[in-house]
Amino acid sequence: MRGTVASLAAAALAARGVSAGRMIDGRLAARAADNTTYDYIVIGSGPGGGPLACDLARAGYTTLLLEAGDDQGDNPIYSELGNFNIAGNDPDSRWDFWVRHSDDDAREKAFAHYTWRTANGSFYVGTTPPAGATPLGIQYPRAGTLGGCAMHNGGVCSLAQDSDWDIVVNMTGDTSWEASKMRQYLVKVEKNTYLPANTTGHGFDGWLSTAVQPARWAHDSSLPATRVLKKLAELTGQNASDVASLVNKDILGIEPHKDTRNSFYNMAQHEDKGGKRSSPNNYIKATLKDPRNFPLTVRLHSLATRVLFDTDTKNKANASVPVATGVEVMSGASLYGADPRHASATKTAPRSRFWARREVIVSGGAFNSPQILKLSGIGPAAELAKFKIPVVKDLPGVGERLADNYEGSLLALGQQPVGGGVITLMFKTPNAAGPDRNIFTWCGAFSFEGFWPGFPTDYGPNEYECAMVHIGPHSQAGTVRLASADPQVPPDINFNFFLNNGTEDLQHLADAANLLRTAWQAAGAPVLPFAEKHPCPGTGAGNCTDAAERALLKTQAYSHHASSSCAIGAASDPLAVLDSKFRVRGVQGLRVVDASAFPRVPGAFPVLPTIMLSAKAAEDIIADAKKAVHKK
C-alpha cells in the first residue's frame, strides 16, 4: 500500500513539473525551485530530520529536506567509521561552536584545551596564549553535512534509560512514550548484524546497521587488560571467572533491571560488518534512489534563515493563531559562520522561499533549532526585542534548559602496553542517589580528552584510558542565546556546567575514577606503575584527594551530547516548548524533531535515542495527516 501511495504522489508531482527523488546542490541551482510548495519541509538532515524526511516521503508526502552543508557520504573519512577523529577535525564538514562551561572567565581559561585565535589567524590551544591572541572558547564541533553529526561521531549505540522515556508520560500524560512502547522504534530502524535473526527486541530489516567487534582477547588471562577486566568485575559485583562471556553481552538487549545492573557489554556501533558507517546519509540516498520514486527533494548548501508564518489565521475561539507556512533559505556553500571556510562575502547569497501545505519541521539540533525558532519570532519576547525580531509567539523556554552529559577520563601511561581490546562497562557509583546506573565507561589503549582543533593527543603505545560519560546529570541550566539577528552568526552557548548539584555530580565522576584506578593496579608487572596524567597526576594509586579530583574535573570536564534546548514539557510548565507530539506550543504547523526535544539527556549517547525519537515523530505526524484527511 505504501508503494502505491508513493507512486500516486510521484505521478502528481510529475504532472506539476516537479521531479520526485532528487538532490539539488544549492550552489548550482540556487533558485531552481523557488516558491515550490511541498507537503512538509524539514530543516536539517541529522539523526532527527534526515530519517523523518525519508519516512514522510516514503509515506507518499512531498517532502523538502534542507541541509546547509554538502554530501560527504562517499568520502572515506566519513564512510569508514574508524576515521571518526579525522572526520571531527575535517573542515569540509566541521562547524566550530565556541562554547562556555560557566560565567567564570578564569575557570573557562583554565580548561587545558581552551582555544584562541592568534594574530596570524591560526589557532592556539592552551592556557598561556601568545600576545595579541583573541579568546574563542571551548570547541564543540558539529557536522554541517548530509547526515548531520551521525557522520562524524564515534558511532556508539546505547539506549536511553526507561525513565528518560517515561518522564514524557509523567509530564504530559501521553502513554505512547512509555519505555516498553519505545522499543518498537529500535526494531523498526535497526538492521542488526551481530545476533541471530528474529532475536526479540531487535530489528533486522531497518535502515540503520548495528555491529559489534569481537572480544576474543578476554579469553587470554595472561594479558594485563584481562587482569584489569577481572578486577573491574570484582569491584562491580560481577563474576570475575566469567568475564570472557560478560564482555559479549548485548548492550541493546532486553533484560530485567537493565538500567540498574552493573554490567560489562560489547559496545554496539552504527556500522555494517565491514566497518562502514551507517547513518541518515545512507537512508536519504536509498530513498532518493529507490525505484518507487518517493517524493523526496534534498537541497544541499541551503541555510534556513527563518520559518515563515501566516499570522491572520483564527482558531475555533476566533483568536489569532500563527501558522507556519514556509521557510526562507539562503543558498550557497559555507554560509554559516561556524563553518571554518565561511567568508563575510556570503552575506550576499541569494534567498529563496519554499512553502509547506502541511507543516514545517525544525531539526537543526540543540544549538541551531532554538536559533532558527528565535530568528522566526518564536522565543523569549525580551530576547527577541533586543534584536528587533517581531514576536510571533512568546515562548520563554526556547534555548533554555540546555543539557549535556558530563564527560571526563582517567588517562595514564604504563611502562609497557596494556594490550587487549575495549572494555565497555556501565555501573553505579557508591554515593549515587536512586536506583539507576550513572556511569558509562570504556577502557582501552587510546587517548581522548575532549575537543580542540587537532584533537586528540597521541601519547604512544603505552597510553591507557577509561573515558567516562556521566548519565543523568543533575544540572540542566545551559542556554542558547542569540548573538545577532543575522542567521549566519552562531548563537552564544553556555552550558553552565555543575551550576546545580555540582558537588554531587563531580563526586560521582571522582568515585568512578577511583574505582577504575583501583582496577588498573591489577595490570601488574611489567605495566605498573602507571604514570597518571589526569585526574590525579603522578604514579601513586591514591595520590590525590577527592576534593582535588573534583576541582580538576570541574575545569576539565567536556561534552558532546547537547540536548533539551526546545524541550517537551507539561502544558502548565512555562518553559515547555513542545507538546508530546513535537508541536511547538502556541502556533500551528510547526514541530521540532531532534535531540533538543528531549526533556533531559537520553542515557549516555543520544544518537540512537534521537533516531528512535525521529521514527516516533514520523508516526505521529503521519497519523495527524490521516486524521486531517478523514475530517475533510
**Segment 466-485, tens digit of pLDDT:** 999 999 999 999 999 999 99
pTM for the predicted model, two decimal places:
0.95
Q: Which residues contact 381 (CB under 8 A, 6 or more apart)?
A: 391, 394, 396
Helix (H, G, I), strand (E, B) or coil at 136: strand
CA separation for the pair 245, 248 (Å, rounded):
5
- Cell numbers at 437, concatenated: 546506573
User: Phi and psi at residue 141, in whole multiples of 5°?
Assistant: -75, 135
Cα R_g (the chain), whole angstroms: 24
Of these residues, 101, 470, 534, 561, which one is catalytic? 561
User: Phi and psi at residue 355, in whole multiples of 5°?
Assistant: -120, 145
Secondary structure E strands in 363-486: 378-379, 393-394, 407-413, 423-427, 439-444, 463-470, 479-481
**Angle at alpha carbon of residue 162, lines to 156 and 163, rounded to 5°:** 115
Provide the CA 372 distance to its chain's centre, in angstroms.
18
Distances (CA, A) of 439 to 196, 215, 436, 483: 29, 21, 10, 35
Instruction: Indicate the pairing of strand 268-269 with strand 296-300.
Output: unpaired
Cβ atoms 362, 53 nearer than 8 A: no
pLDDT at residue 320 in the model: 84
Q: Let me know if 561 is a catalytic residue.
A: yes
CA separation for the pair 86, 81 (Å, rounded):
10
563 forms bridges with which residues in the sheet? 403
**Rounded average pLDDT per 10-residue block, the chain, 632 residues:** 38 39 61 79 98 98 98 98 98 97 98 97 97 98 98 98 98 98 98 97 98 96 97 98 97 95 98 98 98 97 97 73 97 96 78 97 98 98 98 98 98 97 97 94 97 98 98 95 98 97 96 97 96 89 85 97 98 98 98 98 98 98 89 61
Q: Which residues contact 154 (CB under 8 A, 6 or more apart)?
A: 81, 84, 269
pLDDT at residue 35 in the model: 80
Please say whether the dihedral angle defined by the alpha carbons of residues 147, 149, 152 and 153, taken in this order, is positive or negative.
negative
CATH superfamily of 1-93+144-155+280-357: FAD/NAD(P)-binding domain (3.50.50.60)
**Angle at alpha carbon of residue 470, lines to 469 and 473, rounded to 5°:** 145
pLDDT at residue 6 in the model: 39
Cβ atoms 614, 280 nearer than 8 A: no
pLDDT at residue 27 in the model: 43
Interaxial angle between packed helices 546-556 and 502-520, expressed in degrees from 0 to 180 and rounded to the nearest 10: 110
Q: Which of 109, 38, 22 minimizes the C-alpha distance to 71?
A: 22
**Angle at alpha carbon of residue 139, lines to 112 and 558, rounded to 5°:** 60
Spans of all domains in the chain: 1-93+144-155+280-357, 210-275+403-556
Helix (H, G, I), strand (E, B) or coil at 378: strand
SS (H, E, C) 252-288: CCCCCCCCCCCEEEECEECECCCCEECCHHHHHHHHH
CA separation for the pair 384, 394 (Å, rounded):
9
CA separation for the pair 503, 35 (Å, rounded):
54
Provide the CA 369 distance to its chain's centre, in angstroms.
13
pLDDT at residue 20 in the model: 54
SS (H, E, C) 34-61: CCCEEEEEEECCCCCHHHHHHHHHHCCC
Helix (H, G, I), strand (E, B) or coil at 443: strand
CA separation for the pair 278, 25 (Å, rounded):
23
Q: Which helix (H) or strand (E) holds 593?
A: none
Q: Which residues contact 506 (CB under 8 A, 6 or more apart)?
A: 498, 549, 550, 553, 554
Could you tell me which CATH number the domain at 210-275+403-556 has?
Answer: 3.30.560.10
Alpha helices in 376-521 (DSSP H): 381-386, 502-520
Domain 1-93+144-155+280-357 and domain 210-275+403-556, same fold? Reply is no
Largest CA distance in the chain: 79
- Cell numbers at 620, concatenated: 505521529
Cβ atoms 535, 410 nearer than 8 A: yes
Interaxial angle between packed helices 49-58 and 2-15, expressed in degrees from 0 to 180 and rounded to the nearest 10: 90
pLDDT at residue 338 in the model: 97
CA separation for the pair 544, 334 (Å, rounded):
47
Chain length of the chain: 632
